[in-house]
Structure 1
Amino acid sequence: MTPPPLGRMTTYGLEHIGVLALIVACSVALVLWSRRTERARVDRALRVAGWVLLVDAVLWMLWGFMPWAWNLHESLPLHFSDALRILLPLALILRRPWMIVVACYWGLTLNLQSVLTPDVNYFVWVPMEFFQYWFSHGSGVVLPVVLIWGLGYRPTWRGCGFAYAATLAWATLAFTVNMSLGTNYAYLNRAPAGPSILDLMGPWPQYLLVEAVVIAAGWVLLTLPFVLRDRWHPAPAVGEGGLMRRAARPAQSSSSA
């Protein structure tokens, strides 16, 4: 039996607004730092950050399976943010193009919904659960911003299509588990209890189709500026498959200005 929550995060309460401001400030500061710092040094720092995030993600996942923290509706790592919690550190450490492209699209869109409209109940220890939620979701925004606007990674149409296919695959997995266990991972079987963008998309299952179309359209609009820029300022592809490109040094123009 799932224990009742100790409390719930207040959307756009003082703590929520404070964390949003911190995410914006960290994004701006780290983009500026990465542009003004030697690339090899930035790469090393991001790999260290990747290891820190990965260790934290594994420990937090194990915590969720402990008897005092186990919750069928929360402990299985099937939310998109749960997958991102593992995928993003691996992308920072290994720099595989498919990891980077999926982590960037998920971090800046699907994960962003959890940042702007958090649906969080506290069950064991409020300070730790608050920190873990924002540590993972905040880094899920900040680090993709640094990878794209700081280090010059550019998504391509192939990368956009690959990320969308990965999204459908993960949604299929989560939906199958939800139907089997009566859970609601990735909010595929009902909208969150609190306000969210899904409220604007109609009832279930209509909002699933609307959401799929909105994500596709949003990702096309997100990708288009980078594709157009690459026509004027070509950048070499990263790895095989043409999923991402990386500018030689995106900070040169700003540093010389």
Structure 2
Amino acid sequence: MATAAEPIGRMAPYGPEHLAILMFTVLIAGVLALLGRRIRGTAAEDRLLRALGWIMLIATVAWVIWGMLPGHWNIYQSLPFHYSDALRVITAIALITRAGWAIAMCYYWGLTLNLQSIITPDLNYFDYPVLEFAMYWFLHIVAFVAPILFTWGLGYRPTWRGYGVAYLATVIWAGIALIANAITGANYGYLSREPEGASILDLLGPWPVYIFWEAVLIAVVWALMTWPWQLNHGQRYSTVDRLGTIRRKPTGGRSRTSAQHMI
């Protein structure tokens, strides 16, 4: 079995760089939410989402290829089996196509599973710290702010069907990551052992106990992320068709309506 290269450094959680990135992330999320409200239903909305989606997809594919080059290969990091690896592609699909299943997964994964990588980053440097720092944060920040743009900016709403799709996809991806871990000895998804650094998982007990509690916590938190939208949708929306597409009532004197869906 191939061995992994040893890291040459590691970003200190809650150091100056991390705190600056957290503040930048909050700022970008707020700006995109406000911008989304201004361009909702216009041609600029489509242009913005497609541009962000293609940038995300190109960066994701390029980074995977970069990690698999002989000089950068690391069996513990290079294979795309972390949840964040799948989320990057899903986020790009959501931005480019506005597919309901992709927006749903973008919402649930991006605001919870991906958030762990932002709050408690496990960022090791192997070859080029500046590049590795920039790509780590770019990919995780886009995956975090995209669902905020969709939901609080453009008016897309989560549904119980989307909740079920996202949870089922989470279980399926866990199975895929476990198979990859068994073959490679890696720890994709942090499903085979605890992360090396401090993380939110430390609060849920040792491995494998934390996997059970993580599954329970995800189910509860995602339900709480769905329930308020569904509780009030009857007061805010005019029609819901059989495919789960919700059409927003015109607000603020605007005459247009826009299909807002998250399966």
TM-score (norm 1): 0.93
Amino acid at match of 1:161: G
The structural deviation recorded for 1:43 is 2.2
Q: Secondary structure at the match of 1:167?
A: helix
The structural deviation recorded for 1:197 is 1.0
* Residue in 1 that maps onto 2:187: 184
The structural deviation recorded for 1:162 is 0.8
Does the Cα contact within 8 Å between 2:40 and 2:153 map onto a contact in 1? no
* Residue in 2 that maps onto 1:19: 21
Distance 1:30 1:159 in 2: 23
The structural deviation recorded for 1:90 is 1.0
The structural deviation recorded for 1:236 is 4.6
Residues 67 and 219 (structure 1), Cα distance of their counterparts in 2 relative to 1, 3 Å cut: same
Identity %: 47
Does the Cα contact within 8 Å between 2:91 and 2:143 map onto a contact in 1? yes
Deviations 1:138-193 (A, max 9, x none): 11111110000000010011110110001100011101111222110010011211
* Residue in 1 that maps onto 2:176: 173
Give the alignment of 1:1-257 within 5 angstroms: 1-40=3-42, 41-234=44-237, 236-237=239-240, 241-242=243-244, 245=246, 247-248=248-249, 252=252
Residues 22 and 235 (structure 1), Cα distance of their counterparts in 2 relative to 1, 3 Å cut: farther
Distance 1:128 1:39 in 2: 36
Amino acid at match of 2:19: I
Where does structure 2 lack aligned partners over 5 or more consecutive residues?
254-263
Deviations 1:70-121 (A, max 9, x none): 0000000000100011110111111110011011110000000100000111
The structural deviation recorded for 1:131 is 0.4
Amino acid at match of 1:145: I
Distance 2:109 2:247 in 1: 19
Amino acid at match of 1:24: V
Amino acid at match of 1:19: I
The structural deviation recorded for 1:13 is 0.6
Deviations 1:119-140 (A, max 9, x none): 1111010000000000000111
Amino acid at match of 2:16: L
Distance 1:61 1:89 in 2: 15
Amino acid at match of 1:111: N
Deviations 1:60-79 (A, max 9, x none): 11001101110000000000
Q: Secondary structure at the match of 1:135?
A: helix
Residues 31 and 252 (structure 1), Cα distance of their counterparts in 2 relative to 1, 3 Å cut: farther
Q: Secondary structure at the match of 1:64?
A: helix
* Residue in 1 that maps onto 2:259: none
Amino acid at match of 1:12: Y
Q: Secondary structure at the match of 2:237?
A: coil
Does the Cα contact within 8 Å between 1:201 and 1:207 map onto a contact in 2? yes
Residues 168 and 235 (structure 1), Cα distance of their counterparts in 2 relative to 1, 3 Å cut: farther
Does the Cα contact within 8 Å between 1:178 and 1:184 map onto a contact in 2? yes
